[in-house]
Amino acid sequence: MYLLKGFINNSKLASAAPAGTLATIGALSEISSTYAITKAMFFEETSPDLFFVSFTSQDDTGPVQAPAGIAAQVLKFAAWVYAQTQAIPNPGEIFAQTLLDGLLSAFQTEAQNFTCGNMVTDGTYWVPEWLEWENITDPVYGSLTTGSLCLIQIWFVDASFAAQYDDYTILVVPPIQHLDDFFTTSSNVAALVAAQTYTDTIALVNTARGNNPETMIEAQSFNYIDPNNPDNTIPTNWTILIYGLAGNNIDSIANAIINFILSNSTHSQSDWETILPDIFRRTEFTLVPMYDQFAIPDRSQQRGIYSPVANLSRANAVISAVASYGTNHINSNACVQTVPYKCVALVSCGSPNNRNGEFQIVNVFPDILSVPSQSVDFNRMAVETQNFLLLLVDMLKTAETLTQFASVPAGMTKLMRNNILYLVANYENISWLMVTQSNFPLAGVPAPVQTGDAVSTTS
């Protein structure tokens, strides 16, 4: 299989945008240009206004240079798309199916299975946010000549590319130079960690970055555990450079750090789990708001209120549908609570890998209450619990409307795991994964039964 992904720049439209602004179509933003470390540019004299920026070009062996013939086809198809919308007289709105029918008619001997995203306009011209097809003529990768899949996807709209491009690269800058030194004495580890100053770390980051500005930079802190004295811990700081917004999630970052460690060490994963457990055995909780159960349904002039009552069998089915924690573990540790936000019932369960046996939410916050912040009882909770409850409400508000390609508030990230979209926040060194409303209805979960304004459930 060969896969090519990239962006089509249109210098004519980009230069026509007012100073200091980005053209709606045909212009790649500075932040989007950081989504890959290795990029390539292609142009054809027959379409002088267009050039193609390749972000992903790979076959079964890994990254490869985009074949010249396929790059030429990309520019030819892009030129055809722009020719439709820039015709004189201007044709106005172009519908996606009309565009796809025209592409297939014009290029059916070169490509097949054309699909595209929503049509987007800058007020004058119409293009698809992205276009995808299978090349069938390339001598190496074309499906008709070789039997392999040759898939190409190009974007015309930066806003869509920025949200939808799903490849990424993550670079890791460790807290000490030689990772196996973590297996010397704890006093030596402490000295080595202290010896790498902030200035040293910045220099290492600049070396890793080279001439490729990153999309974002993150810092993660994990405690080193002295194997001879578990009470002796040393904070270690790891710096992560992310190329591509899709890499900004807990799974991708954790896997990048783990792979970096194991690739630069002679020790096994089990050895590392002993001294840096928070990297290799992350503590996480899955949270599932029962967004599909209403006590008072939505009205035309008023939003509804969720039901605070959860059937235990259905609550168990809800958490089991999204968390791969094992039936016995879920049966023993899943909890149901009501959260002040719209009275929603929330099902939670901690991962079997959680440290210190923290499998139930009350193991972490034993004093958690279901009261709004205005209640006199709110201050009876510990400050850590109060802040967690406020975070929980903020997450519920965001998860209610979040979609795969939408942005999230600062301090939160998105995660796709097993085709489930989560909103994620880190608090008290624990990852809190909240299932978004967009996932409902959940497969295998019985639907709530509506009776008037009340909700019951089948089990």
Q: pLDDT tens, 212-263?
A: 999 999 999 999 999 999 999 999 999 999 999 999 999 999 999 999 999 9
102-128 per-position pLDDT tens digit: 999 999 999 999 999 999 999 989 999
Cβ atoms of 396 and 340 closer than 8 Å: no
pLDDT average, residue stretch 151-155: 97
Residue with tokens 């709606």: 24
284-315 per-position pLDDT tens digit: 999 999 999 999 987 877 778 999 999 999 99
Q: Are strands 448-451 and 216-225 parallel, antiparallel or unpaired?
A: unpaired
Q: Give buried/exposed letters for 83-96 (b at 16+ CB in 10 A, else e).
A: ebbbeeeeeeebeb
Q: Give me the pLDDT at residue 450, please.
A: 60
Where are any strands of DSSP class E within 314-451? 335-338, 345-350, 412-417, 420-427, 430-435, 448-451
Cβ atoms of 214 and 242 closer than 8 Å: yes
Question: Is the confidence at residue 83, as pLDDT, over 80?
Answer: yes
Q: Which residues pair with 423 in a beta bridge?
A: 414, 434
412-445 per-position pLDDT tens digit: 999 999 999 999 999 998 999 999 999 999 999 9
372-417 per-position pLDDT tens digit: 999 999 999 999 999 999 999 999 999 999 998 888 998 899 999 9
